[in-house]
Amino acid sequence: MTKEYNYKLTSYNASFSLKEYTERYAEKSISDEENVLKIGRFFAPAFQRNAVWTDKAKSKLIETFLIKLPVPPVFLYKNRNAQHEIIDGYQRIKTIYDFMKNKLRLVGLDSCYNKKIFDDLSEIEKADFETKMLNCVIIENIDETSDRDALYEIFARLNSGGTNLNNMEIRRAIGWGRLLFDIEEFNKTREWKLLWGEKTANRYEDIELILRILALSEVVFDKGMREFLNNYLEDNKYADKREKLNLLKNSILLILENYKSNKPFHSEKGTRVNFALADSILPVIMNHPEISNISQKLHKLLDRDFDNYYSSELEKELCKNFQSICFKGQGSISKKAVCERRNIAEKILLS
């Protein structure tokens, strides 16, 4: 089916000083009425990615302004409340803000500005920096309807050609809705943190894993992982999946109560969750919460000691194969690999 686009947009060029960007930037969340709902504020919409620039990359940007080299324009979307949503250039605006608020010390530079904060600059340098202009393109939707849809489409198209966005970041732009909101709230819960760890992922890897688990608990996997998740999100963008997320919470607690380690899905080095282990086992338990002898079955699937637990050589080989597939990295998400490891997990857990 051919998708129809009927956006009624207008755009125009503008320019603001770096001091104006700092004064207008809303550092707090978009739900903070005192800060964001002031007319003219610049803020990142909910689907924007987290700040992922390194301090060295931030420092290079600030140095570029200080040595008077040009910087590409940012894109702002002026919504119906006269607020400016940052759809391209968030990292640049946030970096400018942090530097002028003395929250960023410049590092990794060969110039005289290395290791300086804003207050270390001379008065002339400060004034020159504050009055430096950064161009922008302001986009407005002249149609009263579909305000958010136009914003998502612009964001996706501006960013989809770059190499800095991963699949989940683009997915959030195109597919933001009730489902992703609920998933991100679940990502903050104690139960999920017990499984994932306390530190939230910078690039939404934790959000992608929750999405994968939900999708694989509901839909037959019949294509590559990227397309599979894109289709699931498109079909369920505004769906209420809180009951499913509650099943996921209960399944996590069940595993933690019945497995010897508090990191059942972590890699051998223990640094991060193995996605393939988690999205093979958790969907099965979510759909079959009354599994008998679950402790023994979890040890069969998750332990690396293949001399214990197994009732037959065939079962032992199945579990060896399961772990071999799960630790193949990108090789674990092909159609064949996902189906094979899911089938083994079901066979062991439901036997």
Q: Are 141 and 6 in contact (CB under 8 A)?
A: no
Q: Of residues 155 and 15, which shows the higher confidence score?
A: 15
pLDDT digits (tens, 9 = 90+) for 199-215: 888 889 999 999 999 99
- What is the average per-residue pLDDT within 285-312? 85
Q: Which residue has the higher pLDDT, 124 or 263?
A: 124
Q: Counting every residue, how long is the chain?
A: 351
154 against 186, higher pLDDT: 186
How does pLDDT run across 55-64, given as a tens digit for each residue? Answer: 999 999 999 9
Long-range contacts of the stretch 286-290 (C-beta < 8 A, 24+): 286/213, 286/217, 286/244, 286/247, 286/248, 286/251, 287/217, 288/349, 288/350, 289/247, 289/250, 289/251, 289/254
Mean pLDDT, all residues of the chain:
85
Q: Is 243 exposed, middle or buried (0-12, 13-18, 19+ CB in 10 A)?
A: exposed
128 band by pLDDT with thresholds 50, 70 and 90: very high
Q: Is 86 helix (H, G, I), strand (E, B) or coil?
A: strand
Residue 115's SS3 state is coil
The whole-angstrom distance between residue 279's C-alpha and the CA centroid of its chain comes to 17
pLDDT, tens only, 221-245: 988 898 899 889 989 988 999 999 9
Give the whole-angstrom CA distance, residue 139 versus residue 13: 9
Sign of CA dihedral 292, 294, 296, 302: positive
Residue type, 162: G
What is the Cα–Cα distance from 77 to 79, expressed in whole angstroms? 6
pTM (predicted TM-score): 0.66
Token pair 């397309």 is found at 227
The span from the CA of 232 to the CA of 222, in Å, is 12
| Cα–Cα distance, 243 to 249 (Å, whole number) | 10
Q: How far apart are CA 211 and CA 292, in angstroms?
A: 27
Instruction: Note the pLDDT of residue 46.
Output: 67
pLDDT confidence of residue 80:
75
**pLDDT (tens digit, 9 = 90+) per residue, 155-168?**
667 765 544 567 88
